[in-house]
């Protein structure tokens, strides 16, 4: 039941910030009113809570233009990865993950196992490498040292998987070879193989083996290493997060090789190709919202009052039609013949049908809320909502439960003791929101039960 309340609370709260567009009952979508400064602040707090955030993120990076979401050169590899995933794997209208492997773009070499992790995860985060900014790094660990700030990881969560992603640049390999030897090197480049090993840096300078991969000298593109274990360790013991260490060696001689010789792009290379970590999490918190705040309750009442006014108008018109309609069957038959089969109830039936339990339009605009500086995508989403009467008889399109049918019959016999069934969502879907946190890490978060797909009487 709480899950059914969540979409309504969220979209209702957006209304006060002019980010809420709803159906006014005459096939028009209109924007709701503005709030004063105090009301706006309270409403923002409510929305952030529903999004699972303690405060409004204020990232250092600026959110790229939606028109240039794929090709923005100012973004580093970490945010570009999740932007690419979002663009490739989400439905344009709904924001739901499509999870179709053949739709994944090839730039980051996303695998089938990655798609499986995306399906399981509530939160996906990409972490920028901060190793080059740390002070006091041990001198023999300074080469290939990577470190990631995990302070913004939501809690409590469980780690599904995590990957360290590195880019192998063939151009760097050629640049490392003397021009006079380049032709000869090209002839023998196939014989060059290197092993990249990832270690976790432990206490007292110890190196703990994590994963390794063998690559060819002619290989180019993104490669991924499994770093799930160190990430779990760091989340349990943050004080032991000393980062990761990369070691490159020749696969044939065991000789240690430089990053440039292997073609490995480091922290000082092209920002779009720098190392980063991506992690997939599942939230351990139940999807149960807190009690709605005062502003949410006010807006809920306003929406209900708007619908009640429409229903009262229909009721008045219904009574006028009944008073004006003759009871004499002969007269009614004659009128029907004279007016070509005109039925005084036809218009009423159509109006009542529009007032029966059904899904109505509701759009939430993140851009209108003024959050475009930290929410990358989407600009908004079609939330929809349920409203209308659950009156006897309950038609098939009302998707009534057996209990609702029985309750309707009992209500007819004793309307003062047993209320009518309620119009409520019977099927909900999720949306995916892509945003920056305070550390400019990018988060792709799945919010369940945010979009009404169908309504029914319960």
**107 and 121 within one domain:** yes
Task: Name beta bridge partners: 168.
Answer: 221, 264
Q: Rounded mean pLDDT of 445-456?
A: 88
143 φ/ψ angles, rounded to the nearest 5 degrees: -80, 125
Least confident of 130-134, 229-233, 303-307, 365-369: 303-307
Q: Comparing 90 with 111, which gets the higher pLDDT? A: 111
CA atoms 437, 441, 442, 443: torsion sign: negative
Q: Comparing 306 with 397, which gets the higher pLDDT? A: 397
Q: Rounded mean pLDDT of 16-20?
A: 54
% of the chain beyond a pLDDT of 90? 18
Distance CA 159, CA 123 (A): 10
Angle subtended at Cα 87 by Cα 84 and Cα 88, rounded to the nearest 5 degrees: 80
- 446 and 157 in contact (C-beta within 8 Å)? no
Is 358 inside any structural domain?
yes
**pLDDT at residue 68 in the model:** 47
**pLDDT at residue 231 in the model:** 97
Instruction: Tell which of 229, 252, 283 closes a domain.
Output: 283
Q: Comparing 338 with 171, which gets the higher pLDDT? A: 171
196 φ/ψ angles, rounded to the nearest 5 degrees: -100, 120
**347 and 299 within one domain:** yes
**167 and 92 within one domain:** yes
Q: Comparing 223 with 173, which gets the higher pLDDT? A: 223
Least confident of 55-69, 300-314, 356-370: 300-314
Q: How many residues does the chain have?
A: 458
**153 and 17 within one domain:** no
Q: Is the pLDDT of residue 289 over 60?
A: no
**pLDDT at residue 12 in the model:** 45
**pLDDT at residue 236 in the model:** 94
**234 and 109 within one domain:** yes
Number of domains comprising the chain: 2
Q: Tell me the two tokens of residue 222.
A: 């993104």
- 123 and 157 in contact (C-beta within 8 Å)? yes
**pLDDT at residue 18 in the model:** 47
Q: Rounded mean pLDDT of 351-373?
A: 77
Q: Which of 88, 7, 93 is nearest to 51 (CA)?
A: 7
Q: Tell me the residue ranges of DSSP E strands in 169-321.
A: 193-201, 207-216, 221-226, 244-250, 276-283
Q: Is the pLDDT of residue 10 over 70?
A: no
Is 57 inside any structural domain?
no
- CATH code assigned at 306: 2.10.90.10
pLDDT band at 388; cut points 50, 70, 90: confident
Is 58 inside any structural domain?
no
**348 and 231 within one domain:** no
Q: Comparing 152 with 289, which gets the higher pLDDT? A: 152
- 217 and 190 in contact (C-beta within 8 Å)? yes
Is 62 inside any structural domain?
no
Task: Name beta bridge partners: 128.
Answer: 276
Q: Rounded mean pLDDT of 294-301?
A: 52
Instruction: Tell which of 258, 283, 308 closes a domain.
Output: 283
Distance CA 30, CA 11 (A): 14
**351 and 262 within one domain:** no
**pLDDT at residue 46 in the model:** 77
Is 61 inside any structural domain?
no
Is 257 inside any structural domain?
yes
178 CB-contact burial (10 Å; exposed 0-12 / middle 13-18 / buried 19+): exposed
Q: Rounded mean pLDDT of 436-446?
A: 87
Q: Rounded mean pLDDT of 414-419?
A: 84
- 227 and 163 in contact (C-beta within 8 Å)? yes
Is 304 inside any structural domain?
yes
Q: How many CB atoms lie within 10 A of CB 409?
A: 13
pLDDT band at 16; cut points 50, 70, 90: very low
pLDDT band at 344; cut points 50, 70, 90: very low
Distance CA 158, CA 160 (A): 6
Distance CA 376, CA 367 (A): 10
**277 and 131 within one domain:** yes
Q: Comparing 446 with 307, which gets the higher pLDDT? A: 446
Q: Is the pLDDT of residue 96 over 90?
A: no
pLDDT in tens, 116-149: 888 889 899 999 898 765 555 454 445 689 999 9
**320 and 269 within one domain:** no
Least confident of 84-93, 125-134, 251-260, 434-443: 84-93
Least confident of 144-153, 168-177, 390-399, 442-451: 168-177
Show the domain range for 393. 2-51+288-457
**345 and 388 within one domain:** yes
Q: Rounded mean pLDDT of 277-297?
A: 69
Region of 370 please: left (phi>0), alpha (psi -120 to 50) or beta: left
**pLDDT at residue 32 in the model:** 61
**318 and 209 within one domain:** no
Is 170 inside any structural domain?
yes
**pLDDT at residue 3 in the model:** 46
**295 and 214 within one domain:** no
Average pLDDT value over all residues in the chain: 74
| H or E stretch at 436 | strand 423-436
Distance CA 457, CA 445 (A): 31
Instruction: Tell which of 283, 317, 342 closes a domain.
Output: 283
Radius of gyration of the chain from its Cα atoms, rounded to whole angstroms: 30
**pLDDT at residue 247 in the model:** 93
34 CB-contact burial (10 Å; exposed 0-12 / middle 13-18 / buried 19+): exposed
pLDDT in tens, 221-268: 999 999 999 999 999 999 999 999 999 998 888 888 888 888 889 878
Distance CA 140, CA 257 (A): 15
Q: Rounded mean pLDDT of 357-381?
A: 83
């Amino acid at each position: 039941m709480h899950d059914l309340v969540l979409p309504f609370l969220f979209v209702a709260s957006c209304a006060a910030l002019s980010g809420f567009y709803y159906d006014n009952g005459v096939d028009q979508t209109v924007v709701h009113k503005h709030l004063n400064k105090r009301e706006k602040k309270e409403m923002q707090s409510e929305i952030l809570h529903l999004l699972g955030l303690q405060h409004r993120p204020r990232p250092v990076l600026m959110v790229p233009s939606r028109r240039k979401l794929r090709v923005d050169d100012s973004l580093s590899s970490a945010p570009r990865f999740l932007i690419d995933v979002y663009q490739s794997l989400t439905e344009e209208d709904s924001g739901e993950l499509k999870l179709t492997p053949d739709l994944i773009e090839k730039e980051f070499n996303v695998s089938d196992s990655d798609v499986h992790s995306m399906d399981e995860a509530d939160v996906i985060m990409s972490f920028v490498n901060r190793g080059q900014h740390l002070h006091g790094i041990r001198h023999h660990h300074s080469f290939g040292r990577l470190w990631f700030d995990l302070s913004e990881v939501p809690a409590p969560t469980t780690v599904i998987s995590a990957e360290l992603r590195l880019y192998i640049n063939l151009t760097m390999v050629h640049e490392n070879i003397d021009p006079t030897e380049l032709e000869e090197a090209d002839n023998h480049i196939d014989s060059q193989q290197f092993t990249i090993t990832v270690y976790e840096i432990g206490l007292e300078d110890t190196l703990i083996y994590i994963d390794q991969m063998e690559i060819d000298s002619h290989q180019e593109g993104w490669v991924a290493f499994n770093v799930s274990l160190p990430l779990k360790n760091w989340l349990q013991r943050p004080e032991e997060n000393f980062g990761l260490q990369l070691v490159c060696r020749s696969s044939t001689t065991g000789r240690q090789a430089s990053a440039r010789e292997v073609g490995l792009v480091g922290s000082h290379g092209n920002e779009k190709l720098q190392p980063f970590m991506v992690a997939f999490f599942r939230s351990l918190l139940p999807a149960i919202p807190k009690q709605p705040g005062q502003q949410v309750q006010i807006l809920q009442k306003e929406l209900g009052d708007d619908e009640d006014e429409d229903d009262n108008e229909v009721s008045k018109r219904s009574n006028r039609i009944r008073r004006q309609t003759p009871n004499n069957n002969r007269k009614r038959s004659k009128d029907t013949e004279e007016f070509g089969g005109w039925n005084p109830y036809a218009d009423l039936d159509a109006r009542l049908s529009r007032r029966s339990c059904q899904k109505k339009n509701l759009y939430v605009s993140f851009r209108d809320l003024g959050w475009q500086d930290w929410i990358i995508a989407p600009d908004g989403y079609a939330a929809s909502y349920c409203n209308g009467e659950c009156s006897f008889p309950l038609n098939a399109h009302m998707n009534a439960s057996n209990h609702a049918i029985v309750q309707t019959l009992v209500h007819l016999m004793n309307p003062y003791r047993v209320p009518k069934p309620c119009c409520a969502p019977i099927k909900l879907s999720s949306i995916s929101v892509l945003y920056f946190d305070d550390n400019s890490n990018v988060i792709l978060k799945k919010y369940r039960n945010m979009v009404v797909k169908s309504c029914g009487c319960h």
